[in-house]
Amino acid sequence: MLVFKSLSVFCLFSFLRLCASFDTITPSHSIRDGETIVSAGGTFELGFFSPGNSKGRYLGIWYRISTEVVVWVANREAPIGNHSGVLKVTDEGEIVLLNNTNSIVWSSNTSRAPASPVVQLLDSGNLVLKDGTGNNLNFLWQSFDYPCDTLLPGMKLGKNFVTGLEWFLTSWKSTDDPAKGECSIRIDTHGLPQLVVMKADIIKARAGSWNGLSFTGYGRSMPNPIFEYQFVLNETQVYFGFTLVNSSVFSRLLANPSGVVERLTWMDRTHSWEIYFTAQRDQCENYAYCGAYGICNANGSPVCACLEGFVSKSPKDWNSVEWSDGCVRRTPLECNRDRFLKYTNVKLPNTSSSWFNTTMSLEECEGMCLKNCSCLAYTTLNISGKGSGCLLWFRILIDMRVLSPGGQDIYIRLANSELDNIGKHGPSSKIKQAGIIVGSALLVMGILILGLILYLWKKKLCLKVRKKDCNHEGWNEDMELPVFDFMTIANATCNFSSKNKLGEGGFGPVYKGTLQEGQVVAVKRLSTNSGQGLNEFKNEVLLIAKLQHRNLVKLLGYCIQENEKMLIYEYMPNKSLDSFIFDHTRSKLLDWQNRIDIVGGIARGLLYLHQDSRLRIIHRDLKASNILLDDSMNPKISDFGLARTFGGDQTDAETKRIVGTHGYMSPEYAGYGQFSVKSDVFSFGVLVLEIVSGKKNRGFCHLDDSLNLLGLAWRLWTEDRAMELIDESISDMCTLSNQVLRCIHVGLLCVQQRPEDRPDMSFVVLMLSSEILLPKPRQPGFYMEKALPEADSSSTKLEPCSTNEITVTLLEGR
């Protein structure tokens, strides 16, 4: 006994490799606490361990690259008190775990005895029992049939209809206790099978049914270099799983103790697990958030609405924030006379009470639904390829959401009269669609005609103005941008009264103005010393007017008169982003979804400037006060192209004129006047961190004075406390933590010291909109104050913690 024990210690410490060569257990070779077996390829190891602070001993399987990640536990509910555990396989083929009194703590419950039992740990992480004689490859028992909290490639989540065996994940109770926690992920097999996350008996979230490409609740997942989903549904079984694209990359799906489902992937470079995906995105993820016949739209305000033809069941609740009562039909169904209303881009409702057929066409499906008076809705079963099959709902439509892009179509049954109310279209959904097409065509034509009239009228106006006012030489006859005369603008802004002043931008003050037709505009009165000729300026403006993107402020016209240069923009009622994120009360109006949408919008606008527009503009003064918000809180970048028109016309690597705002300027630009798209990327990164944290980079005082926002973000990140950065006004939404972390991660990548380390905007947009793996950030360039040349004039001296946000123009004394 003593010899054995010291041998095992010997093995453990000196001959790990030698011992590791065993991957099997046989009736004559068992393993005791301290010994392990390693799979043939060296990926997984089986042995005894104590998780976290626990003293109990458990038998588990872990990755050899990161031994703290235990993917399977045998005796989850029954720890062994001390290091006396033994794992054996009996001659009858039962795998048993014994404690010091030789009592069975856990056993495999094998159904059939093999002639010569062999237990083997495979390189997939599967512990299997097989017959050592003959070539019977069937496993008599396998740990993959009894998942714990981790889904490995090759494992299944679902149900075997023949044996009744259900494969599902249950979280650990805590990181110290592998016993079954409350959270589980399983496939609900009522109706069309669907993937659900449950807490105890309550459904928390529903990924939904499989549509041939993905789960309906997750839209279309992007192809990725790591894994591919699998979904099988036939008479004998239903399951979901995944396979690795490159088998030497490790990836797993985890139900963590707090009930969050995440996908983690091992990063060789950083030697750590990175979260690749997390299931909780917004409040619409909560099961049935809007109740029966309600539809959730994370971008909507309010978030919940009733489906067309339905009204809220309890109007009082509906107006508050409690929506779970849902909606009821306004007009009762009349069975055969009913019709269908088509919704696009939605997550399909709960399929527990659904019926499906894989071969029917959509037409047959509609007919079938119409014939059965209790059928509530129908759609295609499989959207892959041309789309086929039929899915019908009975009893209730619940847990729908808007998923744009990536959602599906659904046809919802309504009383005939109800459809008349909604659309006044023809007697079937097809005619209705045709009606919509004709209707919208008419509308578009109407708008075009109106637009033409307006255009001609404006052009006439413009010509008049021109004759009266603008008699500069070389005036381009067919320019498309209206020119305003000085008096019009002066009148519109009450003679540039201070009451109308909206703010002071980098290139001069901005005024609110109301034109005679009632249109509200923003007027930017440029400071005079551009050093640019009128024609040059005009050509530049006309070029910039051609830049059109939903995330850029629209230029409506301009005015030049002697030394006056003015740009007329659309007016943004919600002012600028800084008036929200840095304001204690207004910041509460921006929830996380708003913020991530704003970040995405700015990224796309900037990408357009850098890459997609013909001009390839570097903004050079991106900051919160240059991001305007329209009435739906869509971000619009303003002041783009101004650096280009207004003196900073160099597009190569260096300039003597530094236009920018401290706190947003990259070190190489503030210090040496070197600018590139990567200096904009830096400013964008600062902006992202400001949006997440609600704190200004400059003008932000931390107890430790040397630390600005970037420094703080970096410190928290390296200490694994990045969540502490998040703005208090949104910090209660902790379920979104992984998305927030991803956003901070992208922000940090953008503010890295070296421009070549920073991603370009197309990669930023990709990182923000997909589950792609993120590289590890290096230290941000936040010591830019030190990099500023000595020769700066005193007006640009940097005050620590100043709240001064004005764009500065430095003339470098070189």
Ligand X SMILES: *[C@@H]1O[C@H](CO)[C@@H](O)[C@H](O)[C@H]1NC(C)=O
Among positions 187-206, residues that touch ligand X (CB under 6 A) are: 188, 194, 196, 203, 206
How do strand 58-63 and strand 117-121 relate by DSSP bridges?
unpaired
Q: Does 285 bind ligand X (CB under 6 A)?
A: no
**Smallest gap, in angstroms, from Cβ of residue 369 to ligand X?**
9
- Residue 387 vs 600, nearer CB to ligand X: 387
Residue from 135, 301, 336, 359 binding ligand X (CB under 6 A)? 359
The two structure tokens encoding residue 599: 């970040």
331-350 binders of ligand X (CB under 6 A): 350
Residues in Cβ contact with 735 at an 8 Å cutoff, skipping those fewer than 6 apart? 260, 280
CB 214 within 8 A of CB 242: no
Q: How far apart are CA 9 and CA 92, in angstroms?
A: 30
Asked if 539 interacts with ligand X (CB under 6 A), we say no
235 scored as a contact of ligand X (CB under 6 A): yes
Contact indicator for 191, 351 with CB cutoff of 8 Å = yes
Nearer to ligand X, 100 or 548 (CB): 100
Nearer to ligand X, 267 or 766 (CB): 267
Specify the DSSP class assigned to residue 217.
Answer: G
Q: Backbone phi, then psi, for 585, in 5-degree steps?
A: -85, -40
Nearer to ligand X, 287 or 496 (CB): 287
Written as one letter, the residue type at 480 is E
**Structure token digits, residue 6:** 């010291």
Least distance (Å) from ligand X to the CB of residue 310?
Answer: 16
CA 186/CA 327 separation, integer angstroms: 28
Structure token pair of residue 70: 């235990």
Q: Give the number of residues in contact with ligand X, rule: CB under 6 A.
A: 43
Q: Which of 135, 234, 336, 585 binds ligand X (CB under 6 A)?
A: 234
Closest listed residue to residue 583, CA positions, set 390, 729, 752, 684: 729
Catalytic residues: 621
Note whether 244 binds ligand X by CB under 6 A. no
Residue 138 interacts with ligand X (CB under 6 A)?
Answer: no
User: Quick check: 53 binds ligand X (CB under 6 A)?
Assistant: no
Residue 20 interacts with ligand X (CB under 6 A)? no
Q: Are strands 141-142 and 37-38 parallel, antiparallel or unpaired?
A: unpaired
* Residues between 149 and 188 that touch ligand X (CB under 6 A): 188
Q: Per-residue b/e over 641-676, b at no fewer than 16 CB within 10 Å?
A: bbbbbbbbeeeeeebebbbbbbbbbbbbbbbbbbbb
CB count in 10 Å sphere of residue 26: 16
CA 287 to chain centre: 19
Q: Which of 232, 445, 453, 456 forms a contact with ligand X (CB under 6 A)?
A: 232
Of the listed pieces 86-94, 378-386, 422-430, 805-813, which binds ligand X according to CB under 6 A?
378-386
Of these, 314, 382, 561, 796, which contacts ligand X (CB under 6 A)?
Answer: 382
Cβ closer to ligand X: 21 or 374? 374
- Under the criterion CB under 6 A, does residue 724 sit at the interface with ligand X? no
417 binds ligand X (CB under 6 A): no
CB of 187 to ligand X, least distance (A): 9
**Closer to ligand X by Cβ: residue 160 or 433:** 160
Q: Looking at beta carbons only, is 333 or 572 nearer to ligand X?
A: 333
Q: How far apart are CA 18 and CA 6, in angstroms?
A: 16
Residue 426 sits in the site that holds ligand X (CB under 6 A):
no
Q: Give percent helix, percent strand, percent coil of the chain, each to the nearest 5.
A: 30, 30, 45
Nearest to 656 by CA among 778, 811, 508, 438: 811
Q: Which two tokens stand for residue 159?
A: 């149900």
The CB-of-190 to ligand X minimum distance in angstroms stands at: 7
From the list 22-30, 229-237, 257-265, 695-703, the region that binds ligand X by CB under 6 A is: 229-237
Q: How far apart are alpha carbons 212 and 350 in whole angstroms?
A: 17
Residue 389 CB, shortest distance to ligand X, in Å, is 7
Place of tokens 């793996």: 773
CA 66 – CA 727 distance, rounded (Å) = 33
Nearer to ligand X, 165 or 431 (CB): 165
Which of 394, 455, 537, 672 binds ligand X (CB under 6 A)? It is 394
Choice between 543 and 773, CB closer to ligand X:
773
First to last CA, the chain: 83
- Which residue in the set 77, 268, 420, 654 belongs to the binding site for ligand X (CB under 6 A)? 268
Return the axis-axis angle of helices 592-607 and 761-769, rounded to nearest 10°.
Answer: 150
Point out which span in 298-306, 352-360, 635-643, 661-669 binds ligand X (CB under 6 A).
352-360
Q: Does residue 165 sit in helix, strand or coil?
A: coil
Binding flag, residue 249, ligand X (CB under 6 A): yes
Where in 457-496 is the site for ligand X (CB under 6 A)? none
Minimum CB distance to ligand X smaller for 100 or for 519: 100
- The answer to whether residue 272 forms part of the interface with ligand X (CB under 6 A) is no
What's the rounded Cα separation, in Å, for the pair 33 and 48? 5
| Beta-strand relationship, 400-402 and 294-296 | parallel
Residue choice 236, 319, 548, 762 for contact with ligand X (CB under 6 A): 236
Q: Which amino acid is at 602?
A: I
Torsion from C-alpha of 541, 543, 546, 552, nearest 10 degrees: -60
3-state secondary structure of 810: strand
Q: Residue 357 interacts with ligand X (CB under 6 A)? A: yes
Site for ligand X in 60-119 (CB under 6 A): 80-84, 99-101, 103, 105, 109, 111
The nearest distance, CB 238 to ligand X, in angstroms, is: 9
Q: Sheet of 508-514: strands edge to edge?
A: 501-505, 508-514, 520-526, 564-570, 555-561
Taking CB under 6 A as the binding criterion, the range among 144-152, 273-281, 353-361, 649-657 that sits at the site for ligand X is 353-361
The yes or no reply on residue 267 touching ligand X (CB under 6 A) is no
Of residues 203 and 701, the one with the C-beta less far from ligand X: 203
**Site residues for ligand X per CB under 6 A:** 80-84, 99-101, 103, 105, 109, 111, 188, 194, 196, 203, 206, 212, 232, 234-237, 246, 248-249, 268, 350, 352, 355, 357-360, 364, 372, 374, 382, 384-385, 394, 396, 398
